Amino acid sequence: MPSDEFLVTPWEVEGNVDYNKLTALFGTQPIDDAILARFKRLTGSIPPMLRRQVFFSHRDFNWILDRYEAGEKFVLYTGRGPSGHTHLGHLMPWIFTKYLQDAFDADLYFQMTDDEKFLQKDELSASATRGFSYDNALDLIALGFDPEKTRIFLDTEYARTLYPIALEVAKRVTFSAARAVFGFDSSTNIGMVFFTSMQSAPAFLPAILSGRNVPVLIPCAIDQDPHFRITRDVAPKMGYYKPALIHSRFFPSLLGLDKMSASIPETSIFTTDSPEQARTKIANAFTGGRTTVQEQRDLGGVPDICAVYQYSFYLFEQDDKRAVELREECLRGARACGECKNELADKVVQFLKHHQAAREQAQDRIEDFIIRDCQE
């Protein structure tokens, strides 16, 4: 793929994503200063992921805040396609979702699309995607979501509730609309064609369960937006509010700037990685460093293409002042890549230790979160 080209679909992200072009292409709105000021007025602060434009785009976020200010609480909805272990990129929107749950005292519905991953991945059986759903749920619970306000479900186990909603969606989406949005062709299995209606269904769940219209906000990386363009199209036809969205950029791959990929393990740190595995991956990471120490001192590094710097910027350096210093020190050649790698590895290992202990404890609490209406 030429260096100025990229592709973003829910199943594939390729190339160096130009986020300005992408928002224009998808027709989403940028998160601007007015939204940040409004967020601060309502919640008292602006989290780093918003300040740093990690969450950079939205659909109808202002409307969600209008409803909130009018006393109409919104419900959060997000999810995971359980095709393997969770990596740090997946955690990013969930960490932000947890922030939103606390800041707005919002309920969360969390969908595990075990059906999607069974349909999409030849190598995965239905029992494997079910197993990964429960494994990945531990990661979500480990982040500290409130069990009173958080409901996790697997599509295959909550189907009696979801399927009738998905049918209402599916009846209103033509094959040609789905093909235009997702690029399906005649070799696509028919389950995948229907699947988008299962991902739409939870956007209407709060309204259906409560018997009144409920505003819904979906935090996710921007790759999931195509599904919700369809959801938003059909919502008024079904008599519901359109769900609002807030989109993040992609947490970078350790080997370069494109999206972390679960299918290439060296590009990602998984929540189940040992400290040694995480350290080795970071030691081998792509940096913006020069070929010799002397060149690095003379010319400085290139933090904007450096996976190690990006890791700090996206997740591991919460202090804005320090993040700016790291960048400037790199630019003027005052830092060696080894130093940055060691510092990042220490932070990642500390995070993993804490997260893995919380994951262990989550084993006993999983049933406090799961809802189901049918079982094998």
Give the integer Cα–Cα distance in Å for 183 and 3.
22
Nearest residue to ligand TYM, by Cβ distance, number only = 81
For residue 310, give Cα distances in angstroms to 16, 33, 50.
14, 23, 15
Contact status, residue 217 vs residue 231, Cβ threshold 8 Å: no
Tokens 């072009």: give the residue: 21
* Count of residues that bind ligand TYM according to CB under 6 A: 24
Give the integer Cα–Cα distance in Å for 117 and 132.
10
Give the integer Cα–Cα distance in Å for 245 and 61.
7
CA-based nearest residue to 79, from 228, 258, 179: 228
Please give the residues from 92 up to 131 whose contact with ligand TYM meets the rule CB under 6 A: 92-93, 111, 113, 116
- Residue 249, classed as helix, strand or coil, is coil
C-beta closer to ligand TYM: residue 285 or 335: 285
C-beta closer to ligand TYM: residue 248 or 287: 248
Stretch that binds ligand TYM, among 157-165, 217-225, 331-339, 366-374 (CB under 6 A): 217-225
Contact status, residue 240 vs residue 225, Cβ threshold 8 Å: no
Give the integer Cα–Cα distance in Å for 271 and 275.
10
**Which listed residue (23, 199, 231, 267) binds ligand TYM by CB under 6 A?**
199
Tokens 């922030």: give the residue: 99
C-beta closer to ligand TYM: residue 251 or 286: 251
CA-based nearest residue to 132, from 154, 109, 163: 154
**Which listed residue (58, 59, 80, 359) binds ligand TYM by CB under 6 A?**
80
CB of 110 to ligand TYM, least distance (A): 8
243 touches ligand TYM (CB under 6 A):
no
C-beta closer to ligand TYM: residue 251 or 311: 251
C-beta closer to ligand TYM: residue 77 or 240: 77
C-beta closer to ligand TYM: residue 218 or 300: 218
Output phi, psi for 269, to 5 deg.
-105, 125
78 touches ligand TYM (CB under 6 A):
yes
Retrieve residue 216's tokens.
Answer: 């819904």
Stretch that binds ligand TYM, among 19-27, 215-223, 280-288, 343-351 (CB under 6 A): 215-223
206 touches ligand TYM (CB under 6 A):
no
Retrieve residue 101's tokens.
Answer: 């749950």
152 touches ligand TYM (CB under 6 A):
no
Residues 6+ apart with CB under 8 A from 103: 43
C-beta closer to ligand TYM: residue 264 or 374: 264
C-beta closer to ligand TYM: residue 204 or 335: 204
Residues comprising the chain, all counted: 376
CB of 223 to ligand TYM, least distance (A): 5
**Which listed residue (101, 156, 197, 248) binds ligand TYM by CB under 6 A?**
248
**Which listed residue (259, 281, 327, 335) binds ligand TYM by CB under 6 A?**
259
Give the integer Cα–Cα distance in Å for 137 and 362.
9
**Which listed residue (100, 260, 323, 344) binds ligand TYM by CB under 6 A?**
260
Please give the residues from 6 up to 25 whose contact with ligand TYM meets the rule CB under 6 A: 10
Tokens 């199209």: give the residue: 233
Interhelix angle for 225-238 vs 19-26, to 10°? 20
**Which listed residue (108, 220, 246, 285) binds ligand TYM by CB under 6 A?**
220
Residues of this chain that interact with ligand TYM (CB under 6 A) are: 10, 77-81, 89-90, 92-93, 111, 113, 116, 199, 218, 220-221, 223-224, 248, 250-251, 259-260
